[in-house]
């Protein structure tokens, strides 16, 4: 049977591609602030939102958006204060989020653990038509902001203090990133699952920054890697019947390793060539040399 | 007398229980090039950071361009001590310099031809025009520092505030740095800089302020060098700056 014979497979594919584009476009700002794991924390908090939604019999996606946005803003405010106690506050928020979520899902009497598992690790079959519309709309908004506000978000993430002195609304931008993280986590949970969302935000960026020279190039390349991992993940998960989120993330990490190995090999070859050239009596390639500071006394 | 660019009156700053600035007053006029000198921990950096509103005052008052509630940050160019430790996400020299223009342009407007021209001009001023497309991480410490001054200059500020711009910077970059500052001052700019040593910047300085234990210990002309620093042939360098492979000499 063809992979796209089922409507739900088409939905899963479209959803995964949107997420594959959006998650790295936002994730690059998180990596730049050294907050690579924040998506994971927001994912934990989002589970409580899912529990609330199931308990109230409303769409768990919406309640997850609201609850995780509140959680992400709280995390940002704690980070901004930069106190050592912030670390502990984050731990409370993360574990409170996931424990509360598991309890609420249980209380909702929703049929089985299988349901919980699809939220945690993603599933091919669970993206409904209304879910897909939500993923498309919210994904487009996050993607538009992440690309459209790139200069400002880059400045605020690259050097927060300088950005503040230059007159940028740094706090508003940081809160915007927090809310965008919450939205991305939530729209990704159907396909990738709450526990693995963060990987799709971070791993493509890690892959891209190995080869790119600038921020814009890294961003573009990370989005290509994200789409490739998400798209091929849907196909592979269908072919070998594995959990979608795990498959996408394993493919993304395989891509990272492949690039790392290829680069290491390339460097080894170049080094050997350079060595051979220098043995032939030629000068080695000069790497941005500035004169040494050797003059201490001029007498 | 015209309105001072910076007017600090009786500024007191404390972190937790420790008082770092004890009632400092300082006035910077248009066209001044003021160097704030002092030992590590003297409070000289805190003074500058409080002027930039990065550190809250416990008492006293700071007006910028005659305005107590100063908001026009485009008029100030800030050069921090170091480029951020870096997260590994690459950024080109032009991207970093361009980030100095975002606030002035407005966050919703994409960069235009004028912005690209401003970046090029600023990179020319610090002698890094040929490195625009290179990742900042591939530059030497001094070149990275020059990138930061280009970022500040790109926005055409009226006041430049520099926090230890020449610390650990190689001689070539110090000279490029002094050149860029000279040009800025010649164009009517005002400079406030924190320094550990003045080096090639010395001829530019119109006034020195020495901060000691959170108070101003000396204000006036540049103090004469003492000890072996005063030797005519003395070239004051700290040979602990990161430098590159000795390919240029080893060839």
Domain-wise residue ranges, chain B = 6-223
Q: Which residues in chain B touch residue A217, judged by CB atoms under 8 angstroms apart? A: 90
3-state helix/strand/coil string of B102-143: HHHHCCCCCCCHHHHHHHHHHHHHCCCHHHCCCEHHHCCHHH
pLDDT band at B84 (very low <50, low <70, confident <90, very high): low
Mean pLDDT within B86-100: 88
The helix/strand/coil state of B36 is strand
pLDDT digits (tens, 9 = 90+) for A111-161: 556 678 888 888 777 777 888 888 899 999 999 999 999 999 999 999 988
For residues A101 and A48, is the Cβ–Cβ distance under 8 A?
A: yes
Q: Which residues in chain B touch residue A166, judged by CB atoms under 8 angstroms apart? A: 73-74, 78, 99-100, 102-104, 155
Which pLDDT score is estimated for A290? 44
Residue A107, pLDDT above cutoff 60: yes
Query: Which residue segments constitute the domains of chain A, with CATH numbers given?
Result: 3-278 (1.10.3470.10)
Nearest C-alpha neighbor of B91 from the set A29, A128, A296 = A29
Nearest C-alpha neighbor of A59 from the set A71, A50, A48 = A50
pLDDT top residue among B26 and B199 = B26
Q: Is A152 on the interface with B (CB under 8 A)?
A: yes
For CA atoms B231, B235, B239, B245, the dihedral sign is: negative
pLDDT digits (tens, 9 = 90+) for B219-235: 887 766 555 555 555 55
Residue of B nearest to A158 (CA): B84
Span of A79-93, A246-260, A279-293 with lowest mean pLDDT? A279-293
C-beta atoms of B133 and A213 within 8 A: yes
- Which strand (E) or helix (H) includes residue B13? strand B6-15
Q: Which residues in chain A touch residue B237, judged by CB atoms under 8 angstroms apart? A: 293, 295-296
The phi-psi region of residue B134 (left if phi > 0; otherwise alpha if psi is between -120 and 50; otherwise beta) is beta
Mean pLDDT within A30-58: 88
Q: Which residues in chain B touch residue A214, judged by CB atoms under 8 angstroms apart? A: 90-92, 94-95, 133, 135
Residue A257, pLDDT above cutoff 80: yes
Averaged confidence pLDDT in chain A: 86
- Other CB atoms within a 10 A radius of the CB of residue A250 amount to 17
Q: Which fold has domain B6-223?
A: Rossmann fold (3.40.50)
pTM for the model? 0.85
**d(Cα B96, Cα B144) in Å, to the nearest integer?**
10
Which pLDDT score is estimated for B223? 64
The helix/strand/coil state of B64 is strand
Q: Which residues in chain A touch residue B54, judged by CB atoms under 8 angstroms apart? A: 161, 164-165
C-beta atoms of A149 and B245 within 8 A: no
Which pLDDT score is estimated for A136? 92
Question: B26 is written with which tokens?
Answer: 């300082």
- Other CB atoms within a 10 A radius of the CB of residue B14 amount to 17
How many residues in chain A?
299
**d(Cα A121, Cα B219) in Å, to the nearest integer?**
66
C-beta atoms of A295 and B235 within 8 A: yes
pLDDT digits (tens, 9 = 90+) for A155-212: 999 998 899 999 999 999 999 999 999 999 998 888 888 888 899 999 999 999 999 9
C-beta atoms of A285 and B247 within 8 A: yes
**Phi and psi at residue B59, in whole multiples of 5°?**
-155, 165
Q: Is B102 on the interface with A (CB under 8 A)?
A: yes
- Best of A148, A204, A288 to disrupt the B interface (most B CBs within 10 Å) is A288
For residues B145 and B173, is the Cβ–Cβ distance under 8 A?
A: yes
Averaged confidence pLDDT in chain B: 83
- Which strand (E) or helix (H) includes residue B231? none
Residue B240, pLDDT above cutoff 50: no
C-beta atoms of A159 and B84 within 8 A: yes
Q: Is B71 on the interface with A (CB under 8 A)?
A: yes
**Phi and psi at residue B56, in whole multiples of 5°?**
-75, 145
C-beta atoms of B151 and A149 within 8 A: no
Residue of A nearest to B97 (CA): A155
pLDDT digits (tens, 9 = 90+) for B144-165: 888 999 999 999 999 999 988 7
For residues B11 and B56, is the Cβ–Cβ distance under 8 A?
A: no
pLDDT top residue among B72 and A294 = B72
Which pLDDT score is estimated for B45? 87
Which pLDDT score is estimated for B241? 41
Q: Which residues in chain B touch residue A205, judged by CB atoms under 8 angstroms apart? A: 89
Instruction: Give Cβ neighbours of residue A220 (< 8 Å, ≥ 6 apart).
Output: A208
C-beta atoms of A205 and B173 within 8 A: no
Which pLDDT score is estimated for A110? 63
For residues A281 and B245, is the Cβ–Cβ distance under 8 A?
A: no
- Choose the closest CB to A168 out of B102, B111, B140: B102
Residues 245-264 of A with CB under 8 A from B: none
For residues B136 and B87, is the Cβ–Cβ distance under 8 A?
A: no
Mean pLDDT within A249-268: 95
Q: Which residues in chain A touch residue B234, judged by CB atoms under 8 angstroms apart? A: 297
Span of A116-125, A197-206, A225-234, B19-28 with lowest mean pLDDT? A116-125
Q: Is A81 on the interface with B (CB under 8 A)?
A: no
């Amino acid at each position: 049977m063809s992979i796209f014979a089922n409507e739900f497979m088409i939905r899963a594919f479209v959803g995964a591609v949107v997420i594959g584009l959006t998650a790295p476009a936002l994730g690059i700002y998180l990596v730049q602030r050294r907050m690579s794991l924040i998506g994971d924390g927001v994912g934990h908090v989002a589970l409580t939102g899912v529990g609330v939604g199931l308990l109230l019999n409303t769409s768990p996606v919406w309640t997850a958006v609201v609850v995780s946005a509140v959680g992400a803003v709280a995390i940002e405010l704690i980070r901004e204060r930069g106190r050592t106690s912030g670390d502990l506050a984050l731990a409370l928020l993360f574990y409170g989020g996931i424990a509360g979520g598991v309890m609420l899902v249980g209380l909702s009497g929703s049929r089985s653990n299988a349901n919980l598992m699809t939220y945690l690790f993603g599933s091919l079959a669970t993206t409904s038509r209304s879910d897909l519309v939500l993923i498309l709309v919210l994904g487009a908004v996050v993607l538009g902001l992440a690309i459209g506000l790139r200069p400002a978000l880059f400045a605020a993430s690259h050097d927060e203090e300088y950005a503040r002195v230059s007159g940028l609304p740094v706090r508003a931008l940081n809160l915007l990133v927090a809310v965008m993280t919450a939205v991305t986590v939530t729209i990704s949970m159907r396909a990738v699952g709450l526990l693995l969302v963060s990987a799709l935000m971070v791993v493509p960026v890690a892959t891209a920054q190995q080869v790119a020279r600038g921020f814009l190039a890294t961003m573009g390349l990370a989005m290509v890697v994200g789409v490739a991992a998400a798209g091929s993940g849907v196909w592979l998960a269908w072919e070998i019947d594995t959990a979608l989120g795990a498959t996408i993330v394993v493919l993304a990490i395989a891509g990272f390793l492949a690039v790392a190995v290829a680069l290491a090999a390339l460097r080894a070859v170049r080094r050997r060539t350079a060595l051979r050239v220098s043995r032939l009596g030629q000068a080695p390639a000069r790497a941005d040399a500035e004169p040494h500071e050797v003059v201490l006394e001029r007498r | 007398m015209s309105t001072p660019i910076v007017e600090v009156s009786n500024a007191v700053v404390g972190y937790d229980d420790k008082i770092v600035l004890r009632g400092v007053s300082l006035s910077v006029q248009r066209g001044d090039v003021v160097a704030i000198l002092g030992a590590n921990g003297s409070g000289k950096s805190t003074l500058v950071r409080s002027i930039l509103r990065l550190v809250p005052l416990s008492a006293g008052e700071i007006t910028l361009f005659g305005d107590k509630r100063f908001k026009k940050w485009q008029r100030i160019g800030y050069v921090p001590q170091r480029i951020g430790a870096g997260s590994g996400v690459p950024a080109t020299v032009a991207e970093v310099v361009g980030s100095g223009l975002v606030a002035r342009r407005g966050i919703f407007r994409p960069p235009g031809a004028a912005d690209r021209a401003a970046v090029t001009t600023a990179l020319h001023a610090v002698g890094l025009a040929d490195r625009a497309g290179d990742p900042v991480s591939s530059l030497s410490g001094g070149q990275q520092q020059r990138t930061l001054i280009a970022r500040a200059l790109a926005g055409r500020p009226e006041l430049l505030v520099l926090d230890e711009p020449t610390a650990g910077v190689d001689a070539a970059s110090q000279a490029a740095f002094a050149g860029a500052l000279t040009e800025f001052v010649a164009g009517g700019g005002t400079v406030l800089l924190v320094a550990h040593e003045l080096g090639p910047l010395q001829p530019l300085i119109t006034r020195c302020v020495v901060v000691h234990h959170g108070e101003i210990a000396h204000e006036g002309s540049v103090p004469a060098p003492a000890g072996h620093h005063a030797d005519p042939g003395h070239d004051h360098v700290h040979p602990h700056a990161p430098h590159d492979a000795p390919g240029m000499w080893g060839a």
